Every structure is written in C-alpha cells, then in structure tokens.
Amino acid sequence: MSNFEKILIANRGEIAIRVMRACREMNIGTVAIFSEPDKNSLHAKYADEAFLVGEAHPSKSYLNMHRIIDIAHMCGAEAIHPGYGFLAENAKFAKLCEDEGITFIGPSWQTIEAMGSKLASKHMMEKAGVPVLPYTPDGVTSLDEAKAISAEIGYPVIVKASAGGGGIGMQIVENEADLEEAIEKAMRIAASAFGDSTVFIEKYLVKPRHIEFQILADQQGNKIHLYDRECSIQRRHQKLVEEAPCPIMTEELRERMAASALKVAEASGYYNAGTVEFLYADGEYYFMEMNTRLQVEHTVTEMVTGIDLVRQQLAIAAGKKIPFTQEDIRLNGHAIECRINAEDPLNNFQADPGKIVRYRSPGGPGIRVDSGIHMGYAIPPMYDSMISKLCGWGIDRRESIERMRRAIYEYVIIGVRTTLPLHHAIMNNRHFIDGNTHTHFLQEEHVKANLARYLHEEETRMQTLANSLRHGKEAAAIATAVNVYIAAQKQQQDTNH
C-alpha cells in the first residue's frame, strides 16, 4: 500500500498539530475531532476537516471510541493516529480499529495488551535476558510470601500496580512492619484506577535516573534504536524536562542498554515507534516498562538524529520498510525539552487555565516550539495542563542550555501562570548544569532553595511585563524586564567568581 489518503487524529493540542504537520508534508488529508470547549482550538483549525466529537468530558469525546470510529468511517479516513494519552495505549481501541478495517497507527493490539501488564512484561524481558530488578515473579499472592520475598530482596522495596502506569498506587516500603498496609493500599488504588488489583513488589532504587531508548521497528522485522533520552526531572510522575542524549551515557553503557532495548522490541513483537524505559543507578540499569506509543519527548530525539518519527510511523503503518539501517543513524549535538504547563510553580503547581491575552513564541537558531495554543485561546480546565513544548538544540549540552535560557527569556505567555519560571530556574541550577539529575531532583532541599530565587526573579519579570501590557506600556515594561534580567545575570556572574 502506498501512503494513506486521509488520517483521523484522535487527539487534541500540540500533539494533534504535530501529527497533522507530518501528514501535510506527505500530502495525506487530515481529520480532526474536537470536543465542545475545543471548538476554537488550533488543531481543529489546522485540519482539512474537523468534526465535533462530543461534550467536554473525555469519556464523551476523546475517549469516545465508537463515535471516533463512526467519524472515521463517515469521512473515509483509512487510519487513526492516537497521539499520546487518551486511547494511545488502549488495546481494546486498537482491536476495534482492526475489526472495523481502520489502520491503528501504532503496534498490534496484542503487543499493547502484553506491555500493559507491568508484571507480565517483566517476566517476558527477564526471560529474554534483559536486566530486571529483583521482584515477586507471581505478584503478591499472600502476605507471608510477600514478607519472605521482600526480606530476600532487602528493604526498601516498592509495591506497584501491574495494570498501572505513571506511578499510580506505588507504595515505597522501608521495613516489614509497613508491608501489609502498603500492599492493601496499593491493591485498593489499583482496583479502583485500573479495575485490576494485581500488585507486585520489587527492589526500590532510592535516587535512580530515568533513561529511555527510542525504538523504531517495521512490519518486516527490521528494528533500530534512535539513541537515549534522560527524563529524570519529574513531578508527581509527570516529566518536566527531557534531554537527548543522556548526559552520563558512555559508549559502553549505550551499547549494553541499546542491545537490551532491541531485545525488548524483539520479545514483544514490536512494530512502529516505541520507547523502552529503564531505571539506572550505580552503573547498572533495569527494565521498567515499554511504552507502546509516540511519547511527548520524541522531539529531542528528532532534533539530535534528524529523523521525523511521525513520518516514519505513518510509513510503517502503511506497510513500508524502515528506509535506513542502524549504521545510518548519527547522533548530532544535544537537545533539551521543557514542558510548558498552565500551572503555577509558586503555588504547588496548581493548574491555572484561562485565556491567553498575549502570546509570542521564541525562534531563532536551534529552537522548536510545538504548541497547541494561540492568542485569544481559552485553555480549558478539564484536560492535561501541558500547553506547549519548548525545545532547544545545541552542538553540545552547554550550548543547548544556553539556547534554552535565551528561548525561555523570549517566550511570552500572558493570561495564565506557567512553568516557564521553573524552567528558567532549572536551566540556571548548578546541579542540572553539571548533569547531576535524578528522579527526586525537584524534591531536594538545596535544589528547591536555589530554584526559589530564580523562580521569583522570572516571575517578577513576567508580572512586570503582564502589568504593563495591560496598561499598554509595553516598551517600558520590556526595558524594566531587561534591566531586572541583566542585574540577575550580573549577580549570577558575581556568585560564580
């Protein structure tokens, strides 16, 4: 089969636009679906055709499988791209597409189903010779059994939901006395969140790095990796900053981890784009899970390899072979992504939806902005708070950080509070600059203290700008903001010497 004629994108925001951009380049027609509050959204405007899928609540709209299939049939879309989140890793939906003769752009529903069980996927990867942390192979079947295995593993251990993801229901257990209660709590949360109370226990790594490998596999059995990403800076299991390559990666470690990632792809019968997630600590790495979707942070991999992952997804779904070999893939430079969320980092990251009254996105050398918003757009409160992704490429990590600082400075979003001030703080944080990141980076006291200073400084700058824009004194405001910024930079230089 050659390219598709028309694809329905079953998502919203920046990822829907991102997929539509690849379609437009490949001369593939695009169909958007939008919910009631998204009728004025950028993704609905960008598509060739757009259909109201339902009311605001995701169950009535972006998760409304049968309505989405009906729209695809009605407009003649041969394929559906699920983006990430919503139905992207829903095996039932992938199977429904297959039953309805519509190509699901992703792996088979069987692979999605298998990787959806964290316990079964661990078993599979252990058998394939991929390193996994010590764990309860049969899940938790009895408290005595759990106690015996946890004693063998050695505390601290962690209780995890098998059907879960994103850390939901995870319980860290320091000693045996807390084990029973932790298991009960994890099972309760797993049952209510995933309808499956299966939990398992594994060794808990106190401050691991989260390192993942991008995989690309076609339906003819060809599989390659597109190098590594580090995604350790997270908050409540939501990634905030991702980068490629991982700053502590060595050629030897990369060879070992890439070989393991390709084993995971082989064992799971994977095709299309996927990500293998590892935890890394003290020179060792362990398989955590396989994500059967295109990830938010695919951007940094695209920037350092030059490969358009969505174009490859569309080609693979249309039955094409991957047009390059592993030897063709070169890593060039360093890329960082900062997730811009409509949240207030000074007020416990409280969501801050609202209307965008001023919007100016950065540009210039090495900058990519994948955004789902525009001036005048009202960010709805019922969806994910991420509104755009700011990415910066440099010839090395230092230049990509300097670039990101400059782009954050240029980025103007007035009308809602955002994580921009937090990213300004992180890009100026000594530990981040030195590459000393891990999954609890944002919780560390010294990091929080240092971030606070930069947070307030950037917050002041943005507030100054916002206040004057409201009174039309834009020039004066920008001058003030520049002075504040220069003063802060000077102070930083004084501190550094």
Point out which residues bind ligand MV4 (CB under 6 A): 133, 158, 166-167, 202-205, 208, 210, 234, 237, 279, 439
Nearer to ligand MV4, 151 or 487 (CB): 151
Residue 419 CB, shortest distance to ligand MV4, in Å, is 17
Q: Which residues of 299-316 are buried (b: 16+ CB within 10 A; e: fewer)?
A: bbbbbbbebbbbbbbbbb
Nearer to ligand MV4, 7 or 124 (CB): 124
Instruction: Output 152 or 396, the one with its CB closest to ligand MV4.
Output: 152
In angstroms, give the least distance from the CB of 175 to ligand MV4.
Answer: 16
Backbone angles phi, psi at 49, to 5 degrees: -135, 145
Shortest distance, CB of residue 277 to ligand MV4, whole angstroms? 8
Closer residue to ligand MV4, CB minimum distance, 205 or 261: 205
**CB closest to ligand MV4, residue no:** 439
Q: How far is the CB of 11 from ligand MV4 (least distance, A)?
A: 21
Beta bridge partners of 9: 32, 81
Q: Which is nearer to ligand MV4, 103 or 234 (CB)?
A: 234
Closest CB 206 distance from ligand MV4, rounded Å: 7
Overall size of the chain counted in residues: 497
Quick one: which of 438, 440, 483, 449 has its CA closest to 465?
483
C-alpha 170/C-alpha 182 separation (Å) is 9
**Catalytic option among 229, 293, 339, 368:** 293
**453: annotated active-site residue:** no
Q: 151-187 burial string, b = 16+ CB within 10 Å, else e?
A: eebeeebbbbbbbbbeebbbbebeeeeebeebbeebb
Q: Which is nearer to ligand MV4, 72 or 133 (CB)?
A: 133
Report residue 294 as tokens: 């295109």
Residue 94 C-beta: closest distance to ligand MV4, Å: 22
CB of 229 to ligand MV4, least distance (A): 14
Q: Which is nearer to ligand MV4, 103 or 232 (CB)?
A: 232
Q: Which residues are catalytic?
A: 293
